[in-house]
Amino acid sequence: MSDSMSVSFGWRLADDTRLKVTFAAEVVAYQADKDRWLIRLKGPAPALDPRVPADIRQAIEHLPGQWVFVPNEARNGLTLPLKLETLTGRIRYFYIDDPRNAGSTPRP
């Protein structure tokens, strides 16, 4: 499958502001049993407001090339609300390697 899509992620920052980031992505596969898509984020990362904290900015800038499963609604433009822990790797969401492979590495 060689398809593309845009996917938007949203995070609530420590100061209660919301950050929305939209990436271009390569669609890799569809999992019908879970109604979700495996995508790989394309780079470069979108430009961020300079007021975004440096650690958050750096984590987002490292997302291109990462693999992620997204619900089917993501193809319809829904912004996926995520916890900040998805950027630090404390919540496994983004992967360095294809997560369908045994022993795939979650993003640190």
Q: List the chain domain ranges.
A: 3-95
Q: What is the model's pTM?
A: 0.89
Element (H, E) at 59: helix 54-61
Amino acid 75: pLDDT: 87
Indicate the average pLDDT of the chain.
92
Note the pLDDT tens digit of each residue in 78-94: 999 999 999 988 999 99
Amino acid 2: pLDDT: 59
- Across the range 10-36, mean pLDDT stands at 95
Amino acid 95: pLDDT: 94
Cα 50 to Cα 53, 62, 79, 85: the distances in Å are 8, 17, 21, 21
